[in-house]
């Protein structure tokens, strides 16, 4: 049995963890508790939070959107940001921390199934709209990004989508296995967690 704490960005990610990841990983004797930052994500703030959490769980991981970060360096990447998070905690705690940043944001995962997105949002036109966006990014939901103004959540703002309600519901309908099949970064993270 592993007690896993997940530091999440906000309410949407917390509901996703509760509705999707907890039942999925409980089958592998990995028991998850999400802890929300309620926004305002920065490496300094995360560092303080993680130092406290690392004393309460066997392992800690994170689930933050790349676009959710404040004070990013100009040339920041997912890898460099995850390294900064890891090295922000004392060296003796680093082996129990698995930093994970979702590119570019949680809503990208929802493009894993345009048909399910369309069904949950109850608008049949959304399916072809979402497929068209996905095609522009070679079928990879984690690449959906032109700028912060055209990020997945900004695109979904043009639909009936409500972040904290629809996001976790769409993800639950799609299912973790289907998301993993479309999103390599997410799949890699889940594989590491399964290895615990």
Q: What residues does each domain of the chain span?
A: 2-104+184-194, 106-182
Q: Rounded to whole angstroms, how far apart are CA atoms 67 and 10?
A: 13
Task: Name the token pair of 162.
Answer: 């409500």
Q: Name the band, by pLDDT with cuts 50, 70 and 90, for residue 137.
A: very high
Task: Name the token pair of 7.
Answer: 């530091």
- The DSSP secondary structure of 138-187, one letter per residue, reads TT-GGG--SSGGGSHHHHHTTTT--HHHHHHHHHHHH-HHHHHHH-HHHH
pLDDT, tens digit (0-9, with 9 covering 90-100), for 147-190: 778 899 999 999 999 999 999 999 999 999 999 999 999 999 99
Mean pLDDT of the chain: 95
Task: Name the token pair of 23.
Answer: 């039942």
Domain covering 2-104+184-194 in this structure, CATH number: 3.40.50
The answer to whether residue 60 scores a pLDDT higher than 80 is: yes
- Per the DSSP assignment, residues forming a β-bridge with 63 are 8
The answer to whether residue 116 scores a pLDDT higher than 80 is: yes
pLDDT, tens digit (0-9, with 9 covering 90-100), for 18-46: 999 999 999 999 999 999 999 889 999 99
| Burial letters 14-49, b for 16+ CB under 10 A, else e | bbbbbebbbebbeeeebebebbbbeeebebeebeeb
pTM, two decimal places: 0.95
Helices then strands (H, E): number in the chain? Answer: 10, 5
pLDDT, tens digit (0-9, with 9 covering 90-100), for 66-103: 998 987 888 999 999 999 999 999 999 999 999 999 99
Q: Rounded to whole angstroms, how far apart are CA atoms 92 and 112?
A: 38
Task: Say whether the peptide bond before residue 92 is cis (omega within 30 degrees of 0).
Answer: no
Q: Count the neighbouring beta carbons within 10 Å of the beta carbon of residue 5.
A: 22
């Amino acid at each position: 049995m592993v007690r896993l704490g997940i530091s999440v960005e906000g309410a949407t990610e917390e509901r996703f963890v509760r509705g999707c990841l907890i039942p999925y990983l409980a089958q592998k004797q990995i028991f998850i508790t999400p802890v929300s930052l309620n926004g305002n994500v920065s490496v300094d703030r995360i560092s303080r939070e993680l130092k406290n959490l690392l004393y309460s769980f066997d392992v800690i991981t994170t689930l933050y959107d790349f676009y959710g970060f404040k004070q990013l360096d100009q040339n920041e990447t997912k890898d460099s940001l995850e390294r900064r998070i890891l090295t922000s905690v004392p060296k003796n705690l680093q082996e129990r921390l698995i930093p994970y940043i979702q590119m570019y944001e949680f809503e990208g995962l929802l493009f894993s199934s345009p048909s399910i997105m369309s069904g949950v949002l109850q608008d049949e036109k959304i399916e072809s709209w979402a497929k068209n966006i996905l095609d522009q990014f070679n079928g990879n939901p984690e690449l959906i990004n032109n700028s912060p103004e055209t990020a997945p959540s900004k695109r979904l703002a043009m639909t009936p989508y409500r972040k904290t309600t629809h996001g976790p519901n769409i993800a639950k309908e799609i299912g973790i296995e289907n998301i993993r099949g479309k999103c390599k970064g997410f799949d890699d993270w889940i594989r590491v967690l399964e290895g615990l």
